[in-house]
Amino acid sequence: MVANQRFLRISSFLISSSTQDLNQYLWDNPNDFILGLETLHALTNSRPHQLRVELTDFSSKAAFARYASFRVGSASESYKLSIGGYEPSSTAGDALSDHNNAFFSTIDSDKDTEKQNNCASQLGGGGGWWYKQCYHALGTGAYRLPRNRVVPQAYGGVTWHPFSNVKDSLKIFKMLIKPSNIA
Ligand SMILES: [Ca+2]
């Protein structure tokens, strides 16, 4: 099963909310598939994993980025992201290596390296993410259809810089993982 773009819209909710809230959300939205940080940690901590990110914009232009290693830390490590081994033949460019060693921040838990702002609430469109100062890639940003774009365009949309404009929103942002020893 592949997490679709709806996953992106709800992931900040998932990550910053209690289990009870999440259960209520799933009750109200039975078709959503959610892979939470605890699961990502358990999977990527059990054995080495690789990551493939697939992107599509609203003009149907697509690109991908592959990384040889992807790991999410435990809750006590603030779900720290360990990302490395960008594959040079990737077509999207490397937006995620900048996020290496970032902690997971949410609107109610500022763990980014931006001193003046809480990236999640002020520049990230409300989504939880591995912000630093603040982001080059944002998979959990606000999901904006072209007709709903903010004018002037604002930060916080789903993005992968420079494949997409950092003030624009991608149509699809998928993060796919599998064990490193599987081709
Ligand atoms: Ca901050």
CA 63–ligand 1 middle distance (angstroms) = 31
d(CA 119, CA 18): 21
Q: What size, in residues, is the chain?
A: 183
**What pTM does this model have?**
0.81
Compute, in angstroms, the gap from residue 154 CA to the centroid of ligand 1.
Answer: 19
Which residue is it, tokens 């494949």? 163
**Rounded Cα–Cα distance for residues 169 and 89 (Å):** 24
pLDDT at 37: 82
Which residues form the domain of 90? 5-179
Output the CA 46–ligand 1 centroid distance in Å: 31
What is the whole-number distance in angstroms between the Cα of residue 21 and the centre of ligand 1? 25
- Rounded distance from Cα 17 to ligand 1 centre (Å): 19
Q: How far is the CA of 133 from the centre of ligand 1 (A)?
A: 8
Which CATH number fits the domain that encloses residue 17? 3.90.215.10
The reported pLDDT for the residue numbered 27 is 65
DSSP for residue 172: E
Ligand 1 geometric centre to CA of 19 (Å):
25
Angle among Cα 179, 86, 34 to the nearest 5 degrees reads 50
Reading the chain (183 residues) residue by residue, the pLDDT tens digits are 343 333 333 343 444 344 555 566 566 656 555 567 888 888 899 999 999 998 999 889 999 999 999 999 998 999 999 999 999 999 999 999 999 999 999 888 899 999 999 998 888 877 889 999 999 999 888 777 776 565 666 788 889 998 987 777 888 888 888 888 877
142 Cα: distance to centroid of ligand 1 (angstroms): 19
Q: Separation of 110 CA from ligand 1 center, angstroms? A: 5
pLDDT at 170: 87
Which of 12, 110, 91, 13 minimizes the C-alpha distance to 53? Answer: 91
User: What confidence score (pLDDT) does residue 11 get?
Assistant: 42
How far is ligand 1, taken at its centre, from the CA of residue 147, in Å? 31
- ω into residue 30 within 30 of 0, thus cis? no
168 CA distance to ligand 1 middle (Å): 23
Please count the structural domains in the chain.
1
